């Protein structure tokens, strides 16, 4: 296994929103993957703090009294407002895994035009998520982006604080804004188009040894082949674990 990338890491922090729950093995292995493969200065959790985290992980407490979109919006604003969090920083979820070294840092990735991603979700839902996607696309069209790109991938995203706050403010009147997509287009990120990496099933398909990024569902991580694949790849604890 590659040793942790700490000596030559750029001064970017990784920020991850964490919901309150008894245990979170996905976060544990996500931290191992970032420590091994994603150069960074420090990890910050926003929201809940698990007892098994060491003091190496910074923490920003937030009140989680809304839905998923509202809670993660609040977490993003808290990270952008915190003076000790690097600017820019890398935004990641607790079920995103970097499977290969990224010596140049996190690349900019997108999913292609939003209208094409909408067609995918029209066939499988969920309706609430699709509603937010359409709301965000229409807002971006009104703001001068006639064919916006979707940044709603299950991979980390590098975020400029002022640019993200501007995107959140412009989209705050929407019921379910897609903040990654709003930010990516308003900031003109561009990037490389890739397929989404979320693995929702237990079967050993949709990824392989060459896969750069993975993301899981609780069931696919706990009971599926992909979870065993990730746990075998990162058997050693990171500096963020007691």
Residue 188 φ/ψ region, left for φ over 0, alpha for ψ in the -120 to 50 degree band, beta for the rest: left
Radius of gyration of the chain (CA): 17
Residue 125 — pLDDT band, cuts 50, 70, 90? low
Of 156 and 125, which is predicted with more confidence? 156
Among 52, 194, 42, 32, which Cα is nearest to 110's? 194
- In tens, the pLDDT along 148-205 reads 999 999 999 999 999 999 999 999 999 999 999 999 999 999 999 999 999 999 999 9
Tokens standing for residue 163: 């640019």
pLDDT at site 241: 97
Question: Are the C-beta atoms of residues 199 and 216 closer than 8 Å to each other?
Answer: yes
How far apart CA 180 and CA 237 sit, in angstroms, is: 30
Checking if the pLDDT of 23 tops 90, the result is no
Q: Give the residue among 129, 106, 130 at the shortest CA–CA distance from 192.
A: 106
Give, for 157, the enclosing helix (H) or strand (E). Answer: strand 157-159
For the chain, list the domains and their CATH numbers: 14-197 (3.90.550)
- Rounded Cα gap, residues 48 and 8, in angstroms: 30
127-142 and 179-186 helices, crossing angle to 10° = 20
- DSSP states along 162-203: HHHHHHHHHTTTSSS--HHHHHHHHTT---EE----EE-SSS
Rounded distance, CA 72 to CA 54, Å? 23
| 10 preceded by a cis bond (ω within 30 of 0) | no
pLDDT digit string (tens) for 69-117? 899 999 999 999 999 999 999 999 999 999 999 999 999 999 999 999 9
């Amino acid at each position: 296994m590659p040793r942790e990338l700490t000596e030559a890491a750029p001064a970017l922090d990784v920020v991850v929103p964490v919901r309150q729950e008894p245990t979170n093995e996905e976060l544990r292995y996500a931290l191992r993957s970032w420590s091994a493969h994603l150069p960074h200065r420090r990890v910050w959790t926003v929201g809940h703090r698990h007892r098994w985290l060491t003091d190496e992980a910074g923490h920003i407490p937030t009140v989680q009294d809304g839905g998923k979109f509202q809670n993660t919006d609040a977490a993003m604003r808290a990270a952008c407002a915190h003076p000790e969090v690097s600017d820019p920083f890398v935004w990641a979820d607790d079920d995103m895994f970097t499977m290969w070294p990224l010596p140049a840092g996190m690349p900019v990735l997108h999913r292609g035009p939003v209208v094409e991603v909408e067609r995918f979700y029209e066939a499988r839902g969920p309706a609430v998520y699709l509603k937010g996607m359409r709301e965000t696309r229409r807002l971006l069209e009104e703001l001068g982006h006639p064919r916006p790109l979707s940044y709603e991938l299950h991979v980390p995203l590098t975020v400029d604080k002022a640019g993200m706050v501007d995107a959140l403010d412009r989209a705050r009147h929407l019921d379910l804004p897609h903040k990654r997509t709003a930010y990516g287009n308003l900031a003109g990120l561009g990037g490389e188009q890739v397929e989404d990496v979320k693995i929702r099933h237990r079967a050993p398909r949709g990824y392989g040894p060459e896969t750069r990024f993975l993301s899981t569902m609780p069931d696919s991580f706990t009971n599926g082949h992909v979870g065993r694949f990730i746990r075998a790849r990162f058997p050693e604890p990171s500096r963020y674990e007691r």
